[in-house]
Amino acid sequence: SRRLTVTDIRKKKGQERVVCLTAYTASVAWRVDEVVDLILVGDSLGMVLYGLETTVGVTVEMMINHGAAVVRSSRRTLVCVDLPFGSYQEGPIQAFHTAARIMKETGCQAVKLEGGKEMAETVRFLTERGVPVFGHVGLMPQMVNAVGGFRKRNDGERILEDAKAIAEAGAFAMVVEHTTPEIAREVTAAVDVPTIGIGAGPHCDGQILVTEDMTGLSAKTPPFVKRYAEAGDAIRDAVTAYAEEVRAGRFP
C-alpha cells in the first residue's frame, strides 16, 4: 500500500474530516500510523521530549533524527516535519535549503512552518519548487518571546488575512491553533484547503493533538486538550509494582 499524499489530504476538504496526530518516535509512530491520515513530527518535541520551556531551542538536527525514526516506523500516513525556529525565517532561500535537507535526510513528504502574510512569499517559493507546505496560523508557539506567552488569539481579521495569504501561496493545508470557534469557522469557510484545528473549536476541516498530551504522558498540557487515556498513570503503576517486586525479591 502507498502513503497518503498531500493531494489526498487536500481533497478531503468538504468530504471528510482530516485526522492528525503528532509522533516523534518509532514506538508512537507505528501505533498512530494504523489510524490517522497525517503524522506531524512537531517541534513540540522540544517541550514534550526534551523538557525545554518553549520550542525556540529546537534544532534542525533534532527534527531530522526524530523525523527519520517516524518515517522508518510508518508506511501509510503522510509524514510532515516541522521547520524549527531560526531555520526558515531569514527568507525563501534559507527555508528551501532547510526543507530540502529535512526531506532528503528523513524521507518525509512535507514540511510545516509557522506564519501568515509575512511567510506567504516563502510558502510560494517552496511549493513551486517541490516542497509541499503545511501552514500554521493563529497561536504560533515560535513567536512566544515576541508576543509574551502562549496566548489565545482573538484577532480574527488578522488570522483570516494570514490564512488566505498562505492558502493563496500554495499551502496544502494549515494548522489553526488556539483561537475562537467563530474565527476558526470563518477561516475554514474562506480557504479552499483543509484547516486543521487545535484548541480552535469544532468547525475546522480536521483536528490535531500532541499524542503525548491526549494519552496523558506529557508533564504539562494546554487547557484545550482532551485526555483519551492516562498512560502516565499506567507507567507509574507499572514501575511502582516492578520496584516493589524487585525490592521484595519476588521478581524475577
Whole-number Å distance between alpha carbons of 241 and 57 = 36
For Na ion, give the closer residue by CB, 37 or 177. 177
Cell numbers given for 230: 492516562
Is 112 within any annotated ligand binding site? Answer: yes
Is 218 within any annotated ligand binding site? Answer: no
For Na ion, give the closer residue by CB, 42 or 116. 42
Residue for cell digits 527555508? 95
Q: Quote the least distance from Cβ 249 to ligand KIV, whole Å.
A: 44
For ligand KIV, give the closer residue by CB, 177 or 186. 177
Is 245 within any annotated ligand binding site? Answer: no
Q: HEC string of 210-239?
A: CHHHHCCCCCCCCCCCCCCCCHHHHHHHHH
Q: Check if 53 is active-site.
A: no
Cell numbers given for 237: 503503576
For ligand KIV, give the closer residue by CB, 151 or 236. 151
* Per-position x/- string for 42-81, each x denoting binding to Na ion as judged by CB under 5 A, each - no binding: xx--------------------------------------
Containing H/E element for 39? strand 38-41
Instruction: Tell me if 29 sits within 8 A of 42, measured CB to CB.
Output: no
Whole-number Å distance between alpha carbons of 225 and 150 = 15
Provide the total of helices (H) and of strands (E) in the chain, helices listed first: 11, 8
3-state SS, residue 153? strand
Check residue 162 for interaction with Na ion (CB under 5 A): no
* Per-position x/- string for 150-169, each x denoting binding to ligand KIV as judged by CB under 6 A, each - no binding: --------------------
Whole-number Å distance between alpha carbons of 139 and 142 = 9
Among 68, 113, 165, 198, binds ligand KIV (CB under 6 A): 198
Per CB under 6 A, which of residues 209..238 are in contact with ligand KIV?
210
Per CB under 6 A, which of residues 2..61 are in contact with ligand KIV?
22, 40, 42-44
Q: Residue 115 forms beta bridges with which residues?
A: 136
Containing H/E element for 22? strand 18-22
Whole-number Å distance between alpha carbons of 15 and 29 = 26
Question: Residue 135 touches which of ligand KIV, Na ion, none (CB < 5 to 8 A by kind)?
Answer: none
For ligand KIV, give the closer residue by CB, 79 or 210. 210
Contact footprint for ligand KIV (CB under 6 A): 22, 40, 42-44, 82, 175, 198, 208, 210
Catalytic residues: 177
Contact footprint for Na ion (CB under 5 A): 42-43, 82
Q: Which residues are annotated as a binding site for Mg(2+)?
A: 43, 82, 114
